[in-house]
Amino acid sequence: MNQTLQIQQHHRSIRSFSNEPVSDEMLAQIIAAAHQAPTSMNAQEISLIVVRDAEHRTKIAELAGRQAHVAQTPVFIVIVIDFNKTDIGMRKAGNTQIIHESMEGFGVGAVDAGIVLGTLITAAESLGLGITPIGGVRHDPQGMVELLDLPPLTFAMVGLCIGHIAHDAPVKPRMDIKTFRHDERYDASGYSAAIDAYDKTIMQHWQNVGRSDGTPWSTSLAPFQSVYYPAVRPVAAMQGLLNDK
Ligand SMILES: Cc1cc2nc3c(=O)[nH]c(=O)nc-3n(C[C@H](O)[C@H](O)[C@H](O)COP(=O)(O)O)c2cc1C
């Protein structure tokens, strides 16, 4: 197995970072890797906001639902869907942008943001750094708009903590790979049995790592009973990402 595959198959989120700063050179390399990531139609409608200032990070930690690791991490990167950039390009060519008002547009932005997120993760982990993605930036999206001066047609989709690891975390087991890889056609026939088995596996994992608050996977999905970040739709709409087409 090559080194990249080893790193990817050893991924675990880190929520405890040391005070050691991430060097400018490391950060530039990580961002250069994500800069070359593919985007739909080469739209390049993703922008990164690099937040290193401690006070700034503390504010984001609060907005993200008081996530201590966001305040502790030396580098926090906000991944922004940026249809403002494409709008400027389209206006130059005398065209009018509509895509940002559609479900397709939100999907395109979310996919491309995810590719950038994954690329940043592999790059940072390849340098021995720890990471945690932070969907919590959507907890108070209006707060993020104000804090980061986000103009219309932009939306903070996800964030990423990057730092040197203080306390390492164990690799979290996944559900049977047969529930992930489907050959030729979708097949959910093994899901129930695999979920039963995984509920047991994850409970054993929580016990192994001393987490008495751990729950079975099926129970941990309880937040899916509601829209857990309900401000996304109205704030995205206020930013012009109407999602009505
Ligand atoms: C898009 C995305 C958003 C996430 N948001 C958060 C978050 O706000 N806070 C957090 O502590 N972890 C967050 N996570 C980390 C997940 O909880 C973690 O990836 C998952 O439990 C699997 O654990 P592992 O990464 O250690 O394998 C997020 C992960 C992803 C991919």
Tens digit of each residue's pLDDT (9 = 90 or more) over 105-114: 999 999 999 9
Percent of the chain with pLDDT over 90: 100
Helix axes 24-35, 103-126, angle to 10 degrees: 140
Q: Does residue 103 form part of some domain? A: yes
Query: Is the shortest distance between the CB of 73 and ligand 1 below 6 Å?
Result: no
Give the position, in ligand 1's atom list, of the atom nearest the Cα of 114.
1
Of 8, 10, 13, the residue with max ligand 1 atoms within 8 A of its CB, to mutate for a pocket test, comes to 13
Residues 162 and 57 in one domain: yes
Residues 197 and 151 in one domain: no
What is the rounded average pLDDT of the residues 36-40?
Answer: 98
Of the pLDDT bands very low, low, confident and very high (cuts 50, 70, 90), residue 22 is: very high
Q: What pLDDT, on the 0 to 100 scale, is given for residue 25?
A: 98
Number of domains in the chain: 2
Of the pLDDT bands very low, low, confident and very high (cuts 50, 70, 90), residue 208 is: very high
Q: Does residue 217 form part of some domain? A: no
91 C-alpha to ligand 1 centroid (Å): 37
Query: Is the shortest distance between the CB of 12 and ligand 1 below 6 Å?
Result: yes
Residues 93 and 175 in one domain: no
Of 132, 158, 224, the residue with max ligand 1 atoms within 8 A of its CB, to mutate for a pocket test, comes to 132
Of the pLDDT bands very low, low, confident and very high (cuts 50, 70, 90), residue 162 is: very high
**What's the alpha-carbon Rg for the chain, to the nearest Å?**
19
Query: Is the shortest distance between the CB of 233 and ligand 1 below 6 Å?
Result: no
Range of the domain at 193: 171-208
For 43, residues 6+ apart whose C-beta sits below 8 A from its C-beta are 86, 108, 112
Q: Does residue 223 form part of some domain? A: no
Residues 84 and 198 in one domain: no
Query: H or E stretch including 144?
Result: helix 141-148
Query: Is the shortest distance between the CB of 158 and ligand 1 below 6 Å?
Result: yes
Q: Does residue 135 form part of some domain? A: yes
Query: Is the shortest distance between the CB of 135 and ligand 1 below 6 Å?
Result: yes
Residues 103 and 186 in one domain: no
What is the rounded average pLDDT of the residues 15-35?
Answer: 98
Residues 161 and 188 in one domain: no
**Residue tagged 């709008």 (tokens):** 87
Q: What pLDDT, on the 0 to 100 scale, is given for residue 85?
A: 98
Give the position, in ligand 1's atom list, of the atom nearest the Cα of 69.
11
Residues 59 and 136 in one domain: yes
The answer to whether 202 and 173 have CB atoms below 8 angstroms apart is yes
CATH at residue 89: 3.40.109.10
Q: Does residue 142 form part of some domain? A: yes
Query: Is the shortest distance between the CB of 205 and ligand 1 below 6 Å?
Result: no
Q: φ, ψ for residue 162 (rounded to 5)?
A: -135, 130
Joined tokens for residue 156: 């903070």
Q: Does residue 116 form part of some domain? A: yes
Residues 71 and 138 in one domain: yes
